[in-house]
Structure 1
């Protein structure tokens, strides 16, 4: 992207980070019946992450702010590792309402604030759509932000940081996002904003219970510029089998810039998880891991496949500490670990912030 005579590129998740962004659940929101459980999961994410970097948490009110400050102090987390900011929000999915960061040739960051519509108008999203600007007004960011009218969620894209983007047709070409944009238009905007010149489109792959229209971060992820981890279903009786097998063939056919195939790491298929209230299938996936400084947080589901997933990802991240985070409650609201978070690359988070 060219802005003020500068050219920008999209950063990969493994780029060094200032911190991690979370949005705490509202007590009157979609998590009401699971509030204590999701808060426990988020606490585990905070405890794990603050060993390596700061955590920015948007909270709904002052009462929650004070409670969390006391809770994390009791856990022994240094105060400087947490930034608790009061802001109006709708839901918890920071991956999709958080800013997407690009850098110029001198590594100076710029945050792109895309339009968030609750995954194509499925859920209320007005507060979450304004959150990045709200945080800017609160002095949270150390770099400028630029607003974008295009509807785009962070979970819909993956990059190698070297000019290649991985995404899905089911999401980015869905008319519930940008109905006036053709595939060519979408590609042009992605190229302009992210400095990419190659887009790898997945035409296959989905998870039952996923209401993001097949975000790529539930299916296939860059681990480094030459490695992609992806979900594989080996059960021919499972309704996902055909689509994920077709996705696997697409990944096998993809080529790196030098013409070599990608190193592919198959992630296991956990046993089917169902909502205990109405019985619908939930989107349990090991592809929804999170890369932070020196560590990878991996969603687990109390399944024998958990250890297999951890072993597979240890091959992809030999220099990182792998930290399992139980996400059985998270998938009850149709996302998982990565969906709850947004990394904040170096130079994006203000160095000294009061709790405001």
Structure 2
């Protein structure tokens, strides 16, 4: 079985606001006494909406050494190349020396820097989905940067540098900055939204004593309604302690659109160690209008993954952890015969975007795939 986000020699790792009223109002245990609805202050645009750009944190040697960095460079070059034709690519590099190194690699691959910019910020690792900025819109349609708390997936890895990234970006972009560090620990990969008022998540990655001790589900929903603009919740139990993220949702279930959930077959979900009760609940889930979702099922890899440098992993790879950009969909690929199967299914789901397979075998050995290392900035 897989052992995601666990390394053999180091640990790493993945609309305008309106006040809700009437039948769609969200009431929680905390506000039930006075029956005041939770106010939607901000709304997070769904990933498939038009982007201004994508954020990537480039791998470096300062935390885990040069071998770690060198094994990941090619994937970052491929992602940067594929993304830069359709949107800006914001590359976070550790220091000036790293910026020069990355510039040289991009030049060697004849990748234009026209849509690429560099930000020199110290980072602990590459998982910008979890530590990076969450862009939301206020009730006037203005973009704001939400800085949720990040503690290295429950203090399992170094996090102090990465935790500062959203505030640094907000300062550089002169955007309104919402400091939510004391409100909730919340990684981007822990939450999926359908762009139509529904959120999907595992309790194990949010309502966990290593993230938000003592927080109730009702309180979490109140916070997500206020800052994500969601009022309908699909909560799966998840599996705390399975891997460093405590089972992020984006490894096995995503919203393809407001009517579609992209996941795996029940048998493959069991192989992924998703609890049976969660599988049943997932397949019975409904949107905010109580309508059942359509389901698109992606395979796992046909074989356990072997890295490009020959390390045999004891678990298969997931294709669910893809990333939707303006012109392309970046899909994790593993040099497996099911790559073509998964790419074709995803291409049918997004006919107006080009599916680009990215070799994530070396990244996967360190615990994540494409969605884990990308973060969208809406237009």
Kindly state the Cα deviation for residue 108 of structure 1 after the two structures are TM-superposed: 1.2
Q: Give the structure 1 partner of residue 68 of structure 2.
A: 34
In 2, Cα distance between the equivalents of 1:80 and 1:118? 34
Is contact 2:88–2:115 with CA below 8 Å preserved after alignment? yes
Q: Assess, with a 3 A threshold, how the Cα gap between structure 1 residues 198 and 6 changes in structure 2: closer, same or farther.
A: closer
In 2, Cα distance between the equivalents of 1:76 and 1:261? 47
Q: Give the structure 2 partner of residue 211 of structure 1.
A: 244
Unaligned runs of 5+ in 2: 1-16, 20-38
Which string of whole-angstrom CA distances, capped at 9 and with x for unpartnered residues, describes residues 237-261 of structure 1?
A: x972673654432222111233321
Kindly state the Cα deviation for residue 70 of structure 1 after the two structures are TM-superposed: 3.0
Is contact 1:206–1:240 with CA below 8 Å preserved after alignment? no
Aligned with residue 236 of structure 2, among 191, 202, 207: 202
In 2, Cα distance between the equivalents of 1:266 and 1:227? 10
Give me the TM-score of the superposition, normalised by structure 1: 0.88
Aligned with residue 326 of structure 1, among 359, 363, 370: 359
Secondary structure of the residue aligned to 1:128 is helix
In 1, Cα distance between the equivalents of 2:160 and 2:290? 44
Q: After alignment, is 300-309 or 75-84 more displaced? A: 75-84
Is contact 2:190–2:206 with CA below 8 Å preserved after alignment? yes
Q: Assess, with a 3 A threshold, how the Cα gap between structure 1 residues 279 and 70 changes in structure 2: closer, same or farther.
A: closer
Q: Give the structure 2 partner of residue 185 of structure 1.
A: 219
Kindly state the Cα deviation for residue 278 of structure 1 after the two structures are TM-superposed: 8.8
Kindly state the Cα deviation for residue 218 of structure 1 after the two structures are TM-superposed: 0.4
Q: Give the structure 2 partner of residue 174 of structure 1.
A: 208
For residues 251-330 of structure 1, what are the structure 2 equivalents within 5 Å?
251-270=282-301, 271-273=303-305, 281-282=314-315, 284-330=317-363
Which structure carries more strand by proportion? 1
Q: Give the structure 2 partner of residue 145 of structure 1.
A: 177
For residues 24-103 of structure 1, what are the structure 2 equivalents within 5 Å?
24-30=58-64, 32-103=66-137
Q: After alignment, is 321-330 or 250-259 more displaced? A: 250-259
In 1, Cα distance between the equivalents of 2:65 and 2:265? 30
Please tell me the root mean square deviation across aligned C-alpha atoms, in Å: 2.6
Which string of whole-angstrom CA distances, capped at 9 and with x for unpartnered residues, describes residues 179-202 of structure 1?
A: 131222211111111121111112
In 1, Cα distance between the equivalents of 2:240 and 2:365? 17
Q: Give the structure 1 partner of residue 255 of structure 2.
A: 222
Q: Assess, with a 3 A threshold, how the Cα gap between structure 1 residues 282 and 115 changes in structure 2: closer, same or farther.
A: farther
Give me the TM-score of the superposition, normalised by structure 2: 0.83
**Corresponding residue pairs, total:** 340
In 2, Cα distance between the equivalents of 1:168 and 1:2? 26
In 1, Cα distance between the equivalents of 2:59 and 2:273? 36
Secondary structure of the residue aligned to 1:167 is strand
Secondary structure of the residue aligned to 1:110 is strand
Is contact 1:9–1:161 with CA below 8 Å preserved after alignment? no
